[in-house]
């Protein structure tokens, strides 16, 4: 069982922006940090923006930031937004779908899954043992590149 | 979020064998009923056999059946067997994995998902509103074909 790469990247962007409490970030910076292509991230940020999760500040000193406080963005909200759906198996093509009862069981399990994700917000994350920006700082090469990118021509 | 086709087919086979309480079934019969290729089903049945969930009786009048009572086979056991794993996102490639806390949240959500599946067995299924074999009987063409297949040369 996997979530889509799209969900994965969306969560990573929001984790990064949650950790960066002191200003704007750039897509280039997020790209360098995680080793994810800027093109992919631009699509992800665009959708997160449309959903009211990320705000874009345009211009030379622009960048991106969370549109709402991190403790108002639940992990469940993001996963619901970015997954294609939660029909775990394709019952539509199955002639016994009405009778077999598996669909109801899978639905109940999925609801339990999402209930846990709904109970956590991105504001809960910095309570973990380490601070994400401390981890980033322990990778000098990445850190140097990312700092250089902030607010630069590649800001968006 | 999706389960693999392999899980889908495994569940369908077990649902079919649960409903068929009066004897052996054939792979050809399951194939005709669901419109799934026999080759795929043979691989599925082989793995279910190795896992002690399905028994194969060889020979002209042979076939397949559940290896244990349906109420001793939980849906969770099957999904754990047939899914490749439950690491929902690839944290292995992420430099902030130690710090971000998302992995723990996804793990907790996955455990809640599996706990629901563990709480149901295939023996619970016939309690649903309709009987699966009644549904099959309402598709005369399929029923005719499947009855013709039982115990025939294509039994396995």
Q: List pLDDT tens digits, range A46-62.
A: 999 999 999 999 988 89
A70 CA: distance to closest CA in chain B (Å): 13
Between B88 and A128, where is the model more confident? B88
Per the prediction, chain A carries an average pLDDT of: 82
- Contact between A89 and B124 using a beta-carbon 8 Å cutoff: no
Taking CB atoms and an 8 Å limit, are B129 and A99 in contact across chains? yes
Is B37 a residue whose pLDDT tops 80?
Answer: yes
Residue B137 CB coordination number (10 Å):
11
Q: How far apart, in whole angstroms, are the C-alpha atoms of residue B97 and residue B108?
A: 16
Residue range A130-152: mean pLDDT, rounded: 51
- Residue B156 to chain A, least CA–CA distance (Å): 22
Summarised one tens digit per residue, pLDDT across range B84-124 is 887 888 777 777 776 678 888 999 999 999 999 999 999 88
* One-character DSSP codes across A64-111: EEESS-GGG-BHHHHHHHHSS----S-GGG-TTHHHH-HHHHHHHHHH
Q: What's the rounded mean pLDDT across residues A134-142?
A: 58
Asked if residue A8 has pLDDT above 80, the reply is yes
pLDDT score recorded for residue A99: 67
Q: What's the ipTM? A: 0.80
Check: pTM over 0.90? Answer yes or no.
no
pLDDT band at A41 (very low <50, low <70, confident <90, very high): very high
Q: Which residues pair with A110 in a beta bridge?
A: none
Binary contact (A88, B124; C-beta < 8 A) = no
From the number of C-beta atoms within 10 Å of its C-beta (0-12, 13-18, 19+), residue A127 rates as exposed
Q: Across the interface, do B7 and A99 touch by the CB < 8 Å criterion?
A: no
- pLDDT at res. B59: 87
């Amino acid at each position: 069982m996997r979530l889509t790469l799209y969900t994965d990247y969306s969560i990573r962007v929001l984790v990064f922006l949650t950790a960066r409490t002191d200003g704007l970030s750039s897509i280039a910076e997020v790209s360098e940090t995680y080793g994810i292509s800027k093109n992919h991230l631009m699509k992800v940020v665009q959708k997160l923006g449309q959903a009211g999760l990320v705000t874009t500040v345009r211009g030379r000193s622009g960048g991106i930031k969370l549109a709402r406080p991190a403790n108002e963005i639940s992990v469940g909200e993001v996963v619901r937004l970015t997954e294609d759906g939660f029909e775990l198996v394709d019952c539509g093509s199955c002639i016994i779908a009405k009778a077999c009862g598996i669909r109801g069981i899978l639905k109940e399990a999925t609801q339990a899954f999402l209930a846990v994700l709904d109970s956590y917000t991105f504001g809960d994350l910095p309570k973990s043992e380490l601070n994400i920006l401390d981890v980033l700082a322990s990778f000098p090469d990445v850190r140097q590149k990312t700092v250089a990118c902030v607010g630069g021509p590649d800001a968006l």
